[in-house]
Structure 1
């Protein structure tokens, strides 16, 4: 599986395909803009701060290769060493920091600057990434580099300050329930979100775990308002601090590394999925959004609904054995509803239905009480009558 990087400002994306050894540039509609090849096993991608240069980690060439972004013309090839096989790259402070496999089957990280000067992090005791680690950074946390094991079951990761040009360890993250997925940075740059069998919010200054959530996934992106999207074969969107998704969309295939981004200024997510079919990789660009119904604001033309109501008129007293006429007016009723008139007696805990009426277009209605009630007037305490809405007849 390769990697995707998005250039939101120019509405472009770049996809690496290690099987074909190609990098392809498309716009946000999926239309191909440029393509380059002869990069066997190409994996990690990163864009320079000015978005004019694309960096690619090519393990088979033992090099970091750069391209001009308009047309993917190769600009430079920084060979790292005979036994150095880079697989991931990110840009911090004008340098390309990369994770690599090297002798003896040990993963580590290093950097290369624009002059081609290569630097390798000196391995510390008890420091191991197993294989080539992943490297992560964000403009919201300038000078910060996260180096993480991709396959270790304990989610090994370390945070470094590289603002001086060389790395200074800030903290080592506590063991996680599972291997690492993606990392994201909070909009204010104060926290790191780690996907590793759960979602963790980690304070960048000291590595303290601020909060955890029962959320798993492989890819992550965080909006400026704090909402975050998590993806594997589906995309789920969460409010900041919530474990329950606001909405979820199933996709075909799996979201590739780096293949999930909030499009700036919109509520739309872009996701790139990969399916291996018929001996080749097939990629798809998805536009994912969830439009919630707008809640109308009461105005001169849109008023808040009023509750149904009715007024009744009936004789103050009745004569035993004589019919009683009850009239009334109903307001704020839904259309095509009849009403039930019921007799309520304080001495009885139930109501007795007297009649059903159909209001006219003005809401007015009249009811003549049925014969079975004529001979049964009540003595004090005096009963009352009421109306209740009923479903429209079929």
Structure 2
């Protein structure tokens, strides 16, 4: 880093909400990043083609596109071409994410100004870490294909001389990690997955307005499937006789059968009877449909909005993904169910991912510790209670003096 570099005034920097990530509906190009003039950014389009060739899903392309959009908006605001960015711009961008904070989203009816007002709340560490990874991979790709006059990656890895002795504080109970971290990658705290307590889940289930929604939630909490995976089930994929439902896995796109509870299939049958002839019949047609006319296949955003409305009615803050965590915790707590079976059902590539569900939940820890304190108080009271003299029966003293008064 040169000592005479020009200091950029990030405090007064205004980053307009220019450009956009556009969903095209085209299987060959599901998303397109456009500049403020509406022209596609070819460098990003080439990277999206690389992601598609590597087998990445549409959701991954969208996630990477949002990270690239933040970076390009920052570059457009400071007037820097993407292929001229250096470590200085990368450093300032990471500082801007940390200090300026997330922009306040204006209502869709008020789009007169494209300037984004910072909210003062910094981006989460996970978002900043994801952005650093996306941008480092983006520039690594263009360095490899020599697209444009790029000499260095603005988002470098930590050099060996700056990170101290390798594995100096390594836990011998954990596997070694050979990858090097990004220079501007923040430390992301390890979070315990939040499951839904039984009382809260029962309250949410009681507020579900239809048999379809009850069937969906019952399948989510018994199979542990992701929200998008369960919605990929077809009518031929539900097998009540074998009590399994087939879904398309998010990462591998493979079809996998997941065991579900009998209650889930009961609610599913009630939903099918309730809809009657309104649902088109066909083995390859979707299993889940909207309740409003005209009937359409149920999408992730519609299911997510349904769960938000139920949460508002039940006074809960649970999420749709929390049902997956709840299913994993319930299976992991069963001593008769091996953890490898839970790994298979959850679709985890590594067993270490499944092991996080062995971490005790906060509410369970509080309940057990409070019970421990109550037991300690009871034992202390027992020790302070004087023992009756030899020859006296305790029940006689209770009748004479009252229970607990033997003095």
Say which structure, 1 or 2, has more relative contact order (CA 8 Å, 6+ apart).
Answer: 2
Greater Rg, structure 1 or structure 2?
Answer: 1
Q: Which has the higher helix share?
A: 2
After TM superposition, the score normalised by the length of structure 1 is 0.21
Query: By percentage of residues, which structure has more strand?
Result: 1
